[in-house]
């Protein structure tokens, strides 16, 4: 009988439904992400891109970039540092005067559920005056591109950073 009591007590001790220990702590739920606010922030960045072009301020664009920007264009994939992009933008802005850099359609923004990645589709009509010619030449075309953005709360103060652009144009450049 003594053996029977020891076996029963052992079985009861092993049965989790009979134990009265504290439940394991569960992590607090993640703060809800306000996707509308994130979308509004990305639209502000789109407006800043336009301002940078129309006022020829490369720093406004470079400050939005991830440490390395991937550009897919003309059948090539290239990577640029912020210094590379600064040089490229300075030369580009020196060679043109922007007359128009306007949305053909509003940007289409898709966000990840956690609000840390975004995909932005852009369609622009761009008109420039080429400054590096004997006679100023006006050019107009339409562009479409995809921008990929990341937001890391632990890096860059949680600001959105552009890390990839895939771009194309209609190919119907108009020169005047």
Give pLDDT tens digits for 76-107: 999 999 999 999 999 999 999 999 999 999 99
pTM: 0.78
Cα separation of 79 and 175, whole Å? 30
C-alpha 101, offset from chain centre: 20
Q: Quick one: pLDDT at residue 155?
A: 73
The confidence band for 13, taking pLDDT boundaries of 50, 70 and 90, is very low
> DSSP string covering 113-165, please?
TTSSEEEEEEEEEEEEEESSSSS-EEEEEEEEEEEEEEE-TTSGGG-EEEEEE
- Summarize the confidence of residues 152-172 as an average pLDDT: 86
- Nearest-Å Rg of the Cα atoms of the chain is 28
At the topology level, CATH places domain 33-175 in Nuclear Transport Factor 2; Chain: A, (3.10.450)
pLDDT at residue 112 above 70?
Answer: yes
Q: What is the pLDDT of residue 39?
A: 97
Please give the pLDDT value at position 131: 78
Q: Where are the domains of the chain?
A: 33-175
Q: What is the pLDDT of residues 43-72, one digit of tens each?
A: 999 999 999 999 999 999 999 999 999 999
């Amino acid at each position: 009988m003594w053996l029977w009591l020891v076996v029963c007590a052992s079985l009861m001790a092993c049965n989790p439904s009979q134990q009265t220990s504290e439940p394991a702590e569960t992590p607090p739920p993640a703060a809800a992400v306000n996707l509308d606010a994130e979308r509004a922030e990305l639209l502000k960045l789109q407006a800043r891109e336009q301002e940078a072009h129309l006022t020829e301020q490369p720093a406004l664009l470079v400050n939005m970039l991830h440490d390395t920007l991937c550009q897919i264009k003309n059948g090539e994939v290239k990577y640029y540092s912020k210094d590379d992009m600064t040089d490229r933008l300075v030369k580009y802005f020196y060679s043109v005067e922007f007359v128009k850099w306007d949305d053909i359609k509003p940007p289409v923004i898709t966000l990840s559920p956690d609000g840390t990645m975004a995909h932005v589709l852009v369609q622009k009509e761009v008109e420039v005056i080429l400054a590096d010619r004997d006679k100023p030449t006006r050019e107009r075309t339409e562009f479409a591109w995809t921008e990929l953005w990341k937001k890391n709360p632990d890096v860059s103060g949680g600001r959105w950073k552009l890390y990839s652009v895939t771009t194309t144009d209609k190919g119907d450049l108009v020169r005047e």
